[in-house]
Amino acid sequence: MLRYAINTSTLASKYMLKQNHAKLHHQIKNLTTKTAVRENVFSQSKIFTPGTVYHGFMCMDIQEIKEFNMTAILFKHEKSKTEYLHVQRDDPNNLFSINFRTTPFNSTGLPHILEHTVLCGSKKYPVRDPFFKMLNRSLATFMNAMTGPDYTFYPFSSQNEADYRNLQAIYLDAVFQPNLNQLDFLQEGWRLENSDLKNPKSDITFKGVVFNEMKGVFSENGAIFGEEFLNTILPDHTYGFVSGGDPLHIPNLTVKDLKDFHQKYYHPSNARIFSYGNFPVERNLEICDRLYLNDCVGIDSAYSRVPSQPRWKSPVEKNIKCRFDKMGAPIENQNQIAIGYLMSDITNVYETFVLQFLSQLMVMGPNSPFYKSLIEPNISGGYNSVTGYDPQMKDTLFVIGLQDLEVNKFEKVKEIMDQTLHNVIKEGFTRTHIDSVLHGIELGIKHQSTKFGLNLLFNLTPLWNHEGSVVEAMQIGNCLDRFKINLKNPKYLQDMVKHYFLANNHKLTLTMVPDELYEENIAKKENELLKTKISNMTDLDKTKVYEQGLQLAEAQKIQQNIDILPCLTLNDIPKDVMKVDLTNKTLNAIPVQVCRANTNDVTYFRGILNMSEIPNDLKLFLPLFNATATKMETKNYSYREFDELINLNTGGLSISTHVANSIGDPFQYEQGVLLSSHCLDRNLEGMLSIWGEFFKKPNFRDTDRFKMLLDNYVSNLTTGVADSGHLYAMQSANSLVLGSSLLKENLSGMKHIEFIKGKMKSETTESMLEKMSTISDLLLDRSRLRIAINLSKMKIGKILPHFEQFCFGLPIVKSTENSKRNLDMENSFQKSINGLHYKNNFSVNYCAKSILTVPFRHVDYAKLRVLAKFLSSKYLHPIIREKNGAYGGGARISNDGIFGFFSYRDPNARITLDVFDDTDSWLKNCPNTILDDQAIFEAKLGILQQLDAPVAEYNKGLDEFLCGLDSEFLQNHRNNVLQVTKEDIVEVCEKYLSKERQDNHVIGKCVIGPGEANESGRVLSKTGEKWNTVEPDFEE
């Protein structure tokens, strides 16, 4: 299911390139926590008694949730009928969210554009865009707003109570008293505008943030497929429409529609408020009641209820078209099929639990029946993005789909699907397989993330939205107990499958076939729509468009009095970085970092294997090694047995490449492979013996198995390029200025995609298998390993001996001395070009520019970091998003000292690159009203948000292990950031970003997307710049 958010600022800080986004699986695994179980907080909430009224809120229910050491309290506001759920827990990362049930009946993107516009100014805060302004005036650990198929919600979290109250005031006023100005609607939604603002005779075009955002969303074929699947299998009510907005329907929306929709759906009676954490809930109740709910007359919110979908009498089949992904598989293979069933009602919590369990059993991993029957014959590129169980709509869905297969395989897939279901009903599941999924649930409950509150909100919102019992959903233990009792009936799961699949006529088979004219047809339709709009306009209308364009541009330039927005002060900010309890040991010559933390009876293992001895040409195959090495047979086990062992003992093994620069010298870096896994303390021996087995080297000799893994790997290579295009563009631009960045690009960026696709044509599977073997020979050696362990303080005496044993049992080939971090010097990096254009058929661009500056340890680094934040909010965001209609833009400096600019879902390319290039002259002429002390302070706050972001117990000490960032260094850096002045940022801007310096060999640029339309007359390269254009199929 798709959900649309307003804010991309968090995207820029992640550096995960390969990431499967799309669906939020309603995984029990996600229900995890930050702080360890310390004390029972139940006693604190005894002041609430069901039936008593607190600040206008009647307490309806109070329940202890033992599984997670927390208490749930449900309230209902007497006058307004607003429901309120508070989850009290000893976690400082407090969360607050206001949710509305929003059920659109067209595809104009009403709820989504409303979500954006609501955050553009309200009665008490009549400034433009308080949301984006607050991003820089807060220490929020999360701030966003999201639109789903039938709800819209506005969550934020913070560890600082003053900050929390500030954000709460802004959010509440935004949703209940937004201004919904015409100009904000034009900026965020859609508008007609002269291509040259100053010339009323120039062409009129479509613009708008959401308009471009949605064009970007549907650049990803997975999004086209997912949306269509939802619209088709649930056709009769709100799910039949595109809640985010179809770009061809968005231009029918008016600001009046928006206001009407707000009045109807943002009524307090249709709202649900959620809070989580250890701040006093009474304050929340008092504020909501006094400021917004007390005067409200409650109404019956039944109008927004979503009815159950009437069931079909017979199955439905449908075929749709999509864009041809020129970076993907050959066109004849680039088809998708999915078969899905409508399942239970979302409010049946136990049924949801069992169906989730069943989906794991049936679909995931080499021991599941669908993996065996659909994936192993290797007729496709693996499961597609809609596969799995989705309990987010009123009626839940179960879908199994495949990507990258030939059209003539569709029939076969349907047959296999039916056959597999029959087999499952006949044969059932093995006890070990069931136990391994049960183990996953137990481990998931213990594993503690810093996003517990947020995950709780994401998981509970759809259920609550349909008036299901959220308390029941949190009490996982009850579901588990009931499930275990039911399992005593040996046919229990088989009967379930019979009921939900075989006896179910509400079944949709959706197929999707690429069409080379897809974009062209859409562009044609967009053009026709535009022409119709224009031809219906009088001269007066056209003058209005012209004047409106100028008006909006004027409004965007006006200096806002943002003093009316609350802001933290220096006094609200903690002075010190968190200390970490680390010790370093050497076990059998292997350096081991031990971190004592509150890991809640779970032990975490990480190992880095140095890869500098792997020859360069072989190194490029490493990502393939990482993706396959734990999935092949081993010395003593078949791949099925090995997988079962992994799932019975751990949360999974992960292997990824690791390239980290020295913080003192960008030309030195560590290169290696990062191993990681975690397990319940009681399974530690099991986990370590699995790694021990791995070190005996996987058997790379089963060609069929490897070929299947390889094909699935290749099929997923380009998934996510459109969603994270800015990250790919930044990495490509980085690769033009620094050797270690070129290595990163080769291992995970556009170059890697290019490389693997080339090898698929030129190499045999056998020769690749041989390379895998050589890599494991060169890598799996004790002398190349260093380790980090995060464990429970109290159990160190029990746990460490197991690691000792493990280290002494590892094989050694060479007897070189290990050291903490083996840094390699960059040698032969040759700079040859300034720009790279990955030209493809996306409908928007992703632009990036990189400039090599100074390493982390340098005195100017903190100044550059503040500069990047300042430029993002005061220069790049206003021009690239507000004025030019891209979804986002910004700047940042990375650990290796590369100062980077980026834009996201951008209708422009060269214009944006010019904005990047003009930075220093803009800052030189920047008036004091923009470059003032407050602005500098806000930029610093933005950095502290990152430095002070909560760190999970299992991640403590990891900065030091991976990148050499110890707490003393971070403390110094923090002090340096706080001392940066206005003058400092002007100085470093001139020193590092000036035009003169840019003529040097320190810059790189990249554009991913169509680039410039031919008729614009613009080209990407400038005088003196040398650009390469890479065509999508990578054929020169």
Positions in the binding site for Zn ion (CB under 5 A): 4, 6, 213
Q: Name the residue whose CB lies closest to Zn ion.
A: 4
Q: Tokens for 262?
A: 């707000």
Q: How far is the CB of 145 from Zn ion (least distance, A)?
A: 8
CA dihedral 253, 258, 260, 263 (to 10 degrees): 160
Q: How far is the CB of 873 from Zn ion (least distance, A)?
A: 19
Closest CA to 4 of 245, 234, 239, 167: 245
Q: How far is the CB of 77 from Zn ion (least distance, A)?
A: 29
Q: Tokens for 813?
A: 């080939």
Looking at residue 543, the DSSP 8-state letter turns out to be: H
Length of the chain: 1036
Q: Tokens for 207?
A: 């613009």
| Cβ atoms of 475 and 65 closer than 8 Å | yes
Of 39, 67, 115, 526, catalytic: 115
Closest CA to 158 of 97, 74, 95, 243: 95
Instruction: Return the half-sphere exposure (C-beta side, CA atoms, 13 A cut-off) of residue 221.
Output: 30
Residue 653 or 844: which CB sits closer to Zn ion?
844
Q: How far is the CB of 116 from Zn ion (least distance, A)?
A: 6
Q: How far is the CB of 213 from Zn ion (least distance, A)?
A: 5
1025 in active site: no
* Residues whose CB is less than 8 angstroms from the CB of residue 685 and which lie 6 or more positions away in sequence, other chains included: 802
Under DSSP, is residue 309 helix (H, G, I), strand (E, B) or coil? coil
| Cβ atoms of 410 and 18 closer than 8 Å | no
Q: How far is the CB of 154 from Zn ion (least distance, A)?
A: 13
| Cβ atoms of 229 and 338 closer than 8 Å | yes
Q: How far is the CB of 113 from Zn ion (least distance, A)?
A: 8
Residue 6 or 479: which CB sits closer to Zn ion?
6
Burial of 905 (0-12, 13-18, 19+ CB in 10 A): buried
Residue 4 or 604: which CB sits closer to Zn ion?
4
Give the helix/strand (H/E) hosting 864.
helix 861-871
Residue 213 or 390: which CB sits closer to Zn ion?
213
Under DSSP, is residue 937 helix (H, G, I), strand (E, B) or coil? helix
Q: How far is the CB of 283 from Zn ion (least distance, A)?
A: 31
Q: How far is the CB of 76 from Zn ion (least distance, A)?
A: 31
Rounded distance, CA 411 to CA 208, Å?
43
Evaluated on CA atoms 229, 232, 233, 238, the torsion sign reads positive
Rounded distance, CA 874 to CA 919, Å?
11
Rounded distance, CA 248 to CA 236, Å?
21
- Number of neighbours of residue 1002 by Cβ within 10 angstroms: 18
Q: How far is the CB of 6 from Zn ion (least distance, A)?
A: 5
Instruction: Return the half-sphere exposure (C-beta side, CA atoms, 13 A cut-off) of residue 260.
Output: 7
Q: E-assigned strands of 324-381? A: 335-345
* Residues whose CB is less than 8 angstroms from the CB of residue 698 and which lie 6 or more positions away in sequence, other chains included: 629, 630, 632, 633, 634, 772, 776
Residue 152 or 649: which CB sits closer to Zn ion?
152
Burial of 278 (0-12, 13-18, 19+ CB in 10 A): middle
Tokens 């496709």 -> residue? 380
Q: How far is the CB of 16 from Zn ion (least distance, A)?
A: 21
Residue 4 or 353: which CB sits closer to Zn ion?
4
Q: Tokens for 730?
A: 């930044």
Rounded distance, CA 1019 to CA 111, Å?
38
Residue 131 or 357: which CB sits closer to Zn ion?
131
Q: Tokens for 91?
A: 């976690």
The angle subtended at Cα 641 by Cα 640 and Cα 646, nearest 5°, is 100
One-letter-per-residue 3-state SS of 197-217 = CCCCCCCEEEECHHHHHHHHH
Q: How far is the CB of 959 from Zn ion (least distance, A)?
A: 32
- Number of neighbours of residue 370 by Cβ within 10 angstroms: 21
Radius of gyration of the chain (CA): 28
**What is the residue-wise DSSP string for 477-513?**
HHHHHHHHHHTTSTTHHHHHHIIIIIT---EEEEEEE
Closest CA to 355 of 832, 833, 28, 764: 28
Tokens 């009602």 -> residue? 345
How many angstroms separate the Cα of 884 from the Cα of each of 32, 131, 647? 41, 19, 50
- Number of neighbours of residue 506 by Cβ within 10 angstroms: 20
Catalytically annotated residues:
115
